[in-house]
Amino acid sequence: MISEFPLFIFTTLGGIAAGAYVARAIEPLKVGRTAPWAFPLLALVLLAISGFALLGHLGQPLRVLNAFSNPAAGITQEGIVAVLFGVTVVADFALCLKRGDSPRWLVTMAAALGVVLAAVMGLAYASLPGTPAWAGIATVPFFILGDLALGAGCYILFRRDAFSAKAYSVYFMVISVLAAACACALGTHFAALGYEIAPFVFCAIAVVVGAVLAAFAGKNGNKAFAYAAFACVVVGVVVARYAFYTGSII
């Protein structure tokens, strides 16, 4: 297991929650659903687990105080944005629990903070010159597009018919293709430094296959295709994300 496994958990689970809110902002959840609070609850669970993983990386919880004393540190910026994002998710959960839904502006705010969180995650690694594999131009879009793809894939669990909506179907296919391109770009950078490129190639192929399956799901409403698209995108991005963290092994 890689030493940065807690960071892998933090960015992956936090990224799923962030990307899922962007997906929800594009294609809202259905009104009158059986458990309107289920979506924000899952996001809160993912954020909680990712937060504990981040504490595990620090080794001692009290080190969080030291980390927050330096606003320029990547981990500080990640923590601040994650907290702000978490506050909006809590508000969403409370409103869904009480009223059955949340106003569009709150979901949009959560989505915007989710994108910022993904960007900050990428910048935290791209600004580390001591790790050449991470300090590449492709790192930031790799995180942003990866998180958007993860969230869009997992959102299918709550909107199985989302691919039937043209806007969402196009969004899913576009970010999947862009995520594949970012994986290839980062994989090329890794290969130039002597690392294995196969995980990034696998990611690119998986997410493109997911985009194709999403197109089929949108045309015939086949739920099996929708779930297959979800599986392809999530597995592909997770494999590439794990491979990214092997870049710390020089």
Q: How far apart are CA 197 and CA 63, in angstroms?
A: 35
pLDDT at 74: 62
Residues 174-213 pLDDT 10s: 999 999 999 999 999 999 999 999 999 999 999 999 999 9
Whole-number Cα distances in Å, 4 to 124, 148, 161, 220, 241: 14, 22, 37, 42, 11
Spans in the chain with pLDDT lower than 70: 1, 56-74, 249-250
pTM: 0.92
Q: Is the dihedral of CA 200, 239, 119, 60 positive or negative?
A: negative
- 242 φ, ψ (degrees, to nearest 5): -65, -45
Q: Share the mean pLDDT of the chain.
A: 89
How high is the pLDDT of residue 130?
84
Q: Can you give the pLDDT at residue 52? A: 83
**Residue in 48, 241, 237 with CA at minimum distance from that of residue 154:** 237
